Each structure stands twice: as structure tokens, then as C-alpha cells.
Structure 1
Amino acid sequence: MTDNTTTDEPTWGIELTPEHPPERIAELAALAENEGYDVAFTSSHYFNRDPFVTLSRMVEATDEIRLGPGIVNPYETHPVRLAAQTATIDELSDGRAVFGVGAGDRSSLANLGIERDSPLRRVLETFDVARDLWAGETVTHEGTFTARDASLNLESCEIPTYVGAQGPHMLRMSAKHADGVLINAAHPKDLEWSAGQLEQGLADRPDEYGEFEALAFASVSVAADETEAREAARPPVAFIVGGAADPVLARHDIDREAASDVSAALERGDLTDAFGHVTDDMIDAFCIAGTTETVADRFEAALEHVDGIVVGSPLGPDLEDAVVRASEALEQATARTEK
């Protein structure tokens, strides 16, 4: 685990992907709250439903669970607008909002003709400006984006920022500046390596920034049947592989050409072909997939390196069943780590 953790017990998080109507995602959020999850993130992809509209429904269906986008990027939407949208969720939820922000998926942005330039600076500037706006300040900013005399017509608030990260520089930056990190990884090898990068960032973290929380934003697919769970893992693994850097692929002995086939299909927008190129080795490296018992074992291994786990998409072939099974697996893994 990292230093400066926020709690003794691991944080239980869940990612709910709005590929389904907001009403259903809200029902899943209510189920997750009932099952003991601490935070629910709603993912953001241009081809799915709007995350903030979905979050507003999640607010109505829940009472205590923290809620936020996970992960939005400051390229498709202007950072000031993201700050306003997140602050609106915080207002609606009586202070339960969190802000999950990252550089975005390169292949998805390419489909929209958007160049992901200066990702580290843009993410840092995004949540720096957001913090000032949430504090009630009027902001003028000239950097990777422009904002002149910008302010929010909302009550001031404090919203924790979690940076989606995988590469060394983004990991270190998050540990130095953000409230937490959502590590795009599921395998202990990647999480152990990431923890080392975070420690470097924490060494330079100002004391006034307070505690820092490292969460594994792990793709998880859990079901009663191992084969069905692994098959449901193909879509998220494809997106992970499509954006994976060469050192990450090498860490798991994933063939670069095979990964390129996945990436090329994603950039063409041919999702079926991309999912078909996902191999068993890719699933093993980039997803926690299997039965409740298998997943609990993998969670336990992951918790040696992080402060909590966000159960990421797809969850499993049956979403309601998977929400419950993942909570059971988290409970088992948490109990083991406390012994």
C-alpha cells in the first residue's frame, strides 16, 4: 500500500458503464450501495449515454455512496465545463461527488478527430483550475486550454480528485498533486510497479495536500461460470490493450503485433473485430475474470499494493449478479488482508 492512506480498511468502488439506460444504472448504484460499496464511478465514452445525466439519476437512487465521473477527459469537454458539471452533481448529492479525470482513450479521441496533446499538463491544469472554481474563485488560465474570467454560479465546495493513470509520469503527478489515483491495472505485476511510481510522487507531495488514496481501477468480470466470465471480459480488455504502452505489454509478454491488431480495429470503430483479437493472455494480464472465489484471490493479491479496488467494467455477463458477487469477493479479500 501507499503512504498517507485515507482509511485502514480498503475502499470498495465500482464502475458502472452507461451502455444501459440511466434508470438501470441508477438501480445498479442503489444495489451497490446496499452491498457496501463506498464509491460508484460512471464511465465516459462518446458512444454511450452521458455520464453526468446518468449520475443525476444515480444521485436520486442513493443516499450515502460517493458518486462521480470515472473517467472523463478534458479534450472532448472544456475543463471549466467539467468542473461545473461535477459541482452540479456535488450539489444534487449533498456533497457526495468525486471527480475522476484522465487523459482519455487515444483511439476513441482519434475517432473524433481530437489530438491528445500534452496529456500530463492538461490533466493537471484541469483539476487545478477546477479546485479554484469549486473554491469560488474567478479564474483566468492560459496553458493547454484557455479560460478567461471564468467562475461558477454555484456554492463553493471541495471535491476529491482522482486521476486515471497508467504511465509513470501520470502516476507520479497524481501522487504529488491529486487526492487519489485510479490505476488502470488489474494484475499484481502492474500494481506493484505502479506503487513504486506513486512512492516517488508522494516524496514530493506537499504536506498541506493531505492524505492520498491509490485505487486499482481494475477490469473485473465475475460469474458462477468461469468461461462465461472470461468471455464477458473481452470488450474492456480490448480497450485496455488498445491504449497500453509497449513496456506494459512487455511486462506480460503480450505480442506487440497482436496488440496492434486490437488497436487498429478500435481506431476503425470496428468493435466486433477488436474484441475478436483479444487473447487469453490479454485477459489474464488486464482483467480479473472468473468465479467469486477466483476473483477474491485476485483481489487479495491486488490489495497488497493499493488502498482499495474499483470493480471496473464489464463486471460480468449478468450485471446484478456480478455486483453482488464482486462485493462478496471484496468482503473475502478484505477479511484476509485484516488477519
Structure 2
Amino acid sequence: MTSEKRAAGDATLGIELTPEHPPDRVADLAALAEDEGFDVAFASSHYFNRDPFVVLSRMAEATEGIQLGPGIVNPYETHPVKLAAQTATIDELSDGRGVFGVGAGDRSSLSNLGIERDSPLRRVLETFDLARDLWAGETVTHEGTFTARDAALNLEPVSEIPVYVGAQGPHMLRMSAKHADGVLINAAHPRDLEWAAGQIEQGLAERPDADGAFESLAFASVSVAGDESDARAAARPPVAFIVGGAAEPVLERHDIDREAASAVSAALERGELPEAFGRVTPEMIDAFCIAGTTETVAARFEAALAHVDGIVVGSPLGPDLEGAISRASEAFARATEA
């Protein structure tokens, strides 16, 4: 989508659903999101939660038109050929509604599994390049950041699956704009989104015309509730993970205390989640989450949409998930009113 689409009031509204809940619950939430006008639903991927592709299969059964995909899987925990097959399966189950959200993964979570996140940009690019070849029915041999020999899929996607790259750093943002169909910017604050838009413009300058349109989406942690303090309290867990993976320039952009951020990151790497959540400061919530009442969130959405083509409402959504989905939809409608 382009800025012209935003001007026409057709910005994309997406949602990230976290499989910390049973698959049937997440499927019901996806159906509610569809009813509330959301365009795409992503199932997040963390080793300590339920499998996103199993959950996506339930989401496909419970919905009719909303696009569905992982958001965001990484090619370290799972081989890229397997990711391509899993995503194609969701596309088949949903009658052509599949999308592929892929990124380098959370450094602290990968560390828990003893996985080194080496050559992230090359690995992500090679992953979706390979996936596209496999979806086109090709037999692929690849030697790079991973190995695949004479690999092929025994199924074909129903439709052309769009690739959205999860990105935060400058190189990944520029690469996504040059090669992918869209980007999921790991940011919620207008300051970060404005900076990211500049990086994306550089990548788009090198994008072949034949690759078609590109869509930038803020993959923003959002917590919305009737009470401001309740919404901010619910924001602590996702903000902790964002802080744990934030690059130094991002922390500097928001004047986040380095020692405080390091304490959050260290607790995450030890697997001590309650401690990590408790170390999140109000400044971190302000920088890395859109949290508050419907009115507050609507104003933050409007500010974000000055720099992106749409917003994916990310975890936690709020203390009451069903209510938060409705409130987020209302806030988005207010933010995009002509």
C-alpha cells in the first residue's frame, strides 16, 4: 500500500495474536477481529508458547476473509524449507489467505535455546528467496547461511503468498523494502517510525519496478483498556521483550537508561520472566508501546499513520482481550476518519 491509499482512508489494520492461550481461544479472537474489520491476523512465534502453525490452522477454520500468517517466525529455530511448507499449508487451509511473516528472531529467546543469531540479514533474505522458489514449484539446492539440497514441496500455495519482513535495524529495513512485499516495523513510537520510513525510502529507491507495491506496517505493541493504568500494567511483558532485543541506537533515541535496559535483558536471558517484567520502567512503556484508553490509542495511531501504511496491533492488546480488540478497532476508525 502507498501513501495514496492512506490518504483515501484505506490503511491496513492487522492484529498479532499470541498462542499463550489455547488454540480454540485464539481462533475465536481471530474471528472477532475479522468481525471488527481487521485485515490480517498474525500468530506470534515463541518457543515457550503453543505452535503458531497449529494455531493458524484453527484460525483458518474460524474465519472466512481475513489474511493469516505467522508473525514472526525465524529461520534459526526451524529450517527455512520447513517454514515454506508450513506457510503453504496455512495458505491451502485458508483458501489463499496466507501471508509469511519472517524475521531474525528475538536474540534473548534464541539464546535460551543455545542458538547463535549469525548473519541475520542474509539468513532472512535467503529464507524468503528460497520460499518463493519452493512455492513456485521449483526444486532447490542452496548453500549459504543454511543448506538445502534438491528440496521441493509436495504442495503448491493456492495464491501468491506475500512476504513481510520483521525489521527494526537500518539494514533489515532497507533490505525488506528492496526485496520483500512488506515490512513489519518493530516500533510503536512516531519517532522510531519516522526514522524507519527514511530507511525504507532508501531501499525502495533500489526496488525493481517489476516487484510491485510495497507495504510498511507498524508492528506495534498496543494495550488498550477503559482504564489507563490497567492498560499500562498489561503492557509490561511485551515491552520487556522489546527492550531485551533493542539495539543501542534505539535506546539512545528514547533516552532509556542503559543499566535499566540491561537488567531487563539479563533477566530474560536467565528465563526469569516475572523479574524482567517488573524491571520495565514507565519510560520504556512510553517508548515501546501504545498504551491507554481508546482516546489515547486513537491519537497515537493517528501519529503513527503519518509514517506507515497501516498498523498491526501487537501483544498484549490489553487486560481484556475481547474488549481490547473492539477498542483497538474503534481507535483505528477514529484515527483514519477523513
- What band does the TM-score fall into relative to the shorter chain? over 0.9
The superposition leaves residues 192-232 of structure 1 with CA deviations (integer Å, 9 ceiling, x where unpaired) of 00000000000000111100000000000000000000000
TM-score normalised according to structure 2 size: 0.98
Counterpart contact for 1:4–1:212, Cα < 8 Å: no
What's the counterpart of residue 54 of structure 2?
Answer: 53
Alpha-carbon separation, structure 1, partners of 2:125 and 2:317: 30
Counterpart contact for 1:5–1:212, Cα < 8 Å: no
Note the aligned Cα RMSD (angstroms): 1.3
What's the counterpart of residue 140 of structure 1?
Answer: 141
The superposition leaves residues 106-149 of structure 1 with CA deviations (integer Å, 9 ceiling, x where unpaired) of 00000000000000000000000000000001100000000001
Alpha-carbon separation, structure 1, partners of 2:7 and 2:277: 38
Give the 4+ runs in structure 1 shifted more than 6 A: 3-7
Gap change, CA 1:24 and 1:7, over 3 Å in 2: farther
Where 2:314 maps in the other structure, the secondary structure is strand
Q: How does 1:1-339 map to 2 (within 5 A)?
A: 8=8, 9-156=10-157, 157-335=159-337, 339=338
Gap change, CA 1:50 and 1:148, over 3 Å in 2: same
| Structure 2 residue identity aligned to 1:243 | G
| Larger deviation, residues 117-126 vs 154-163 | 154-163
TM-superposed CA distance for 1:158, in Å, is 1.4
Alpha-carbon separation, structure 1, partners of 2:5 and 2:152: 32
| Structure 1 residue identity aligned to 2:333 | E
TM-superposed CA distance for 1:155, in Å, is 2.4
| Structure 2 residue identity aligned to 1:39 | V
Counterpart contact for 1:226–1:290, Cα < 8 Å: yes
Where 1:162 maps in the other structure, the secondary structure is strand
Where 1:158 maps in the other structure, the secondary structure is coil
Counterpart contact for 2:68–2:99, Cα < 8 Å: yes
The superposition leaves residues 263-320 of structure 1 with CA deviations (integer Å, 9 ceiling, x where unpaired) of 0000000000000110000000000000000000000000000000000000000000
| Structure 2 residue identity aligned to 1:124 | L
Alpha-carbon separation, structure 2, partners of 1:313 and 1:285: 15
TM-score normalised according to structure 1 size: 0.97
Ranges in structure 2 where 5+ consecutive residues have no aligned partner:
none
Counterpart contact for 2:188–2:220, Cα < 8 Å: yes
Where 2:104 maps in the other structure, the secondary structure is coil
Gap change, CA 1:170 and 1:7, over 3 Å in 2: farther
| Structure 2 residue identity aligned to 1:239 | F
